[in-house]
Amino acid sequence: MTALRALICVLALALAPGAANADTARIAVASNFTSAAKALADEYAALSGHAITPSYGATGALYLQISQGAPYAAFLAADQARPALLLQDDRAVPGSGFTYAIGELALFSRDAAAALGPDYLKQAPFERIAIADPATAPYGLAAMQTLQSLGLDAVLAPRIVRGKNIGQTFQFIWSGAAEAGFVARSQIADAGAGAHWTVPSSLHEPIAQDAVLLDASSVAARGFLAYLRSPAGRATISRHGYATPE
């Protein structure tokens, strides 16, 4: 059976009326994907009758929870490394990993008049700039790589404030605790105000986000991951500011 046929079969079983009793799956989701995950969970529930309960956090922190036995049925990470480690350590269902989204990094300020870009960073007309913790959040790592590529990491180090995840980082900027910061471009669509600069992908490593199934017995989780790869799921992911792999 080809990968496409297998996907179609899993999705058909999950969405077929009366195919199984309504199931609920608790899923670990990287903070940057919060808005998209909520929309996808609602769509999937309406189609299948199964419920998805997302728990949001930094990818590194969620990975640690899973490694310590947290009862998640699936993991939507903000990188490829942690899902790969779970597969390597037999903590995930073999062959279940795939890239569900490709993210973009953006420099964001609530000040709509801000002219953001490399010159803004070099001139540094701010007291504080926010990034997510590079040790646990892939978007934070991409932010540090961007500053390193621009030769500004050491210069700006005293002004950097770190959020524990990309969601908290966005709140630092929105609340005024930091005048600007690096966030996921997908978060900006929900902001409704402000200015941003989409960071060229050449300044940091690609932000490919992988998903992996943790509980093979979960009908809801299996169906949800299949839905992410369906045309409808991919369209929703795209609407929320991500690219999707072919």
pLDDT in tens, 39-71: 999 999 999 999 999 999 999 999 999 999 999
pLDDT category at 227 given cuts 50, 70, 90 is: very high
Residue 21's pLDDT is 74
d(CA 90, CA 24): 23
Q: Within 13 Å and on the Cβ side, how many CA atoms surround 11? A: 17
The class of domain 3-103+208-239 in CATH terms is alpha beta
The CATH number fitting domain 105-198, selected from 3.40.50.1820, 3.30.460.10, 3.40.50.2300, 3.40.190.10: 3.40.190.10
pLDDT above 70 as % of the chain: 92
Residue 24's pLDDT is 96
> What backbone torsions phi and psi does residue 219 show, to the nearest 5 degrees?
-65, -40
Residue spans per domain, the chain: 3-103+208-239, 105-198
Cβ count within 10 A of residue 118: 16
CA distances, 246 to each of 193, 226, 230 (Å): 32, 15, 11
Identify which of 117, 119, 139 has the alpha carbon closest to the alpha carbon of residue 196: 117
pLDDT in tens, 74-95: 999 999 999 999 999 999 999 9
pTM beyond 0.85: no
More confident residue, 175 or 12: 175
Mean residue pLDDT of the chain comes to 91
Q: What is 96-139 written as a DSSP string?
A: --EEEEEE-EEEEES-TT---SHHHHHH---S-EEEE-TTT-HH
d(CA 240, CA 246): 17
Identify which of 134, 112, 116 has the alpha carbon closest to the alpha carbon of residue 126: 116
| Strands 207-213 vs 51-57: parallel, antiparallel or unpaired | unpaired
More confident residue, 5 or 208: 208
| Strands 180-184 vs 129-132: parallel, antiparallel or unpaired | parallel
CA distances, 99 to each of 47, 61, 154 (Å): 23, 20, 33
pLDDT category at 3 given cuts 50, 70, 90 is: very low
Residue 49's pLDDT is 96
CATH topology identical between 3-103+208-239 and 105-198: yes
Give yes or no for residue 9 having a pLDDT over 70.
no
Edge-to-edge strand list for the sheet holding 195-198: 160-163, 129-132, 180-184, 105-109, 195-198
Most confident of 9-13, 83-87, 191-195: 83-87
More confident residue, 123 or 6: 123
